[in-house]
Structure 1
Amino acid sequence: MNQVTRKAYAKINLGLDVLRRRPDGYHEVRMVMQTVGIFDTLTFRKRAGKEPLPDILLSVDKEELSGDESNLIYRAAKLVMETYGVKEGVDISLNKNIPIAAGMAGGSSDAAAAFHGLNELFELSMSLEDMQKMGVKIGADVPYCIVGGTALSEGIGEILTPIAAPPEAYLLIVKPDIDVSTKYVYENLHADTLSEHPDIDGMVEALQEGSLRGITERMGNVLETVTIKKYPVIHQIKEAMVMQGAENALMSGSGPTVFGIYRERERAQEAYKAVEKMGLAKQIYVTEFV
């Protein structure tokens, strides 16, 4: 096998709670993670000789992304190749579709696809657990992205419990034309002073029951307390979605992406047109849970 192609799916947080800041600087979280039908495509090709080229050549199709060691794909590939003593070089190309710096784990999902892609390309026989143990060294969301689906995420994001998938619904996903620093959001979150926390246990129960109403009623994200204060457009988008028939709307991750959940595709598509007409964002998608 000389070439492998993998899809890297975006995620949203149906619920996101931060319990405390740990002594090591990381934050203790409880989140309900869910993959959605927006994805990047990565292609991996073997290259026989390393010289005079580097072991890993990463090409990207977006100017704002780099193909060097600052890219999580590169770091994941390097970790795999060094750990397993891969002697051949690899060319990796990324076709980017997930919004960048959006709170949708696009970089983490790409890194997860790199673990899967190189595992298949070089026949390394890595288990999911093997990949997750390496993945947490790359980023806290990577272990989840390696498995995807619906999961309760705890610890710093590395403790994962699969849970029931949500019932069929349609999503309007909107990324306003701003970039949010995850570091800034967490540094300005004071978890010990939060007056409200999302009902994560109730969310898990609603998922087990297959109750869309139970899910949407419990949607919450404590990071909104920081991000919305700095970027009011996020609140505007949430309000617009609800006015256009969303069961509920929420910011994903540290933002700025907002998603609304709709029972009918037609309502989601009408909301798409309304949000576009309001000029609140250019990156707008209608999709589903994966």
Structure 2
Amino acid sequence: MTLKVTAKEPVSDGVVALTLAHPGGARLPDWTPGSHIDLVLPNGTTRQYSLCGDRWDAHTYRIAVLREPGGRGGSAFVHDRLRAGDRVGVGGPRNHFPLVPSRSYLFIAGGIGITPLLPMVRQAEMTGADWQLLYGGRTRASMAFRDEIVALYGDRVHVAPQDERGLLDLDAWLGTPRPDTKVYCCGPGPLLNAVEAACSPWPPHALRTERFTTVERQTAVRDTAFEVELRRSRRTVTVTPDVSVLEAVRGAGADVLSSCEQGTCGTCLTPVLDGRPDHRDAILADHERAANDCMFPCVSRSCDDRLVLDL
């Protein structure tokens, strides 16, 4: 769908928020906390951004974009060239980071990782759950929506700028497992890795994370070719080490949508009917990988000689 940029405003050093609406005022597709959209920019680039506005507002979406000097150009275009009144393509929303019911939540945000957590905080507050937000960033000035959330929620929000307090004290927050608490974390890779390590003694599935960047992948399970059967298409393709599963199945005529092609956006999620995928994405949790009933063919491969997909 095509939406109009109705507002663009700075929300911290290096971050701007965009408000998007249908040009004709039509209702937008519903979404849930943790959802993101694909933003297709006028220069042809596509990037994924978490929805951070009011999910009960049926006519606008809100996202926040961090300027990334070392990025691939999408954030620079948004900051430097995109204006209120411009039109952009939007895909989704999709949610691979859903908020599950719980009596208690601990939300941990690092920098721009605050964006998917904002609707979760609002949802937790609405349902009467016990919750706290630990929010870290390089400086106070760099922390998007800081004043807004502190004004709304007071001492439930713990702001910890790195230049004032150093790294987040994860031992203090996560050192004692709490069986009735779900931990949601989004931010840079080192923070996610540290939170995952700190939560290792916690009950299974207590932690849920979302990564904006790819993870460092270990060597593939196999370095030889394997076959992929497209069950509905009644075709079989050979995937050689130099091509991805996505490239191979597209070459056989399968119509698979994709966006980031780095295992972070979730667009190309594909059901697996048989075989064991070599999961190499940054989306699925451990128990979802163990189920072996879906994969992201842009990055994942096969552990077996044959993989059967519902394509």
User: Could you tell me the TM-score, scaled by structure 2's length?
Assistant: 0.25
Higher relative CO (CA 8 A, sep ≥ 6), structure 1 or 2? 1
Larger Rg: 2
**More helix by percentage:** 1
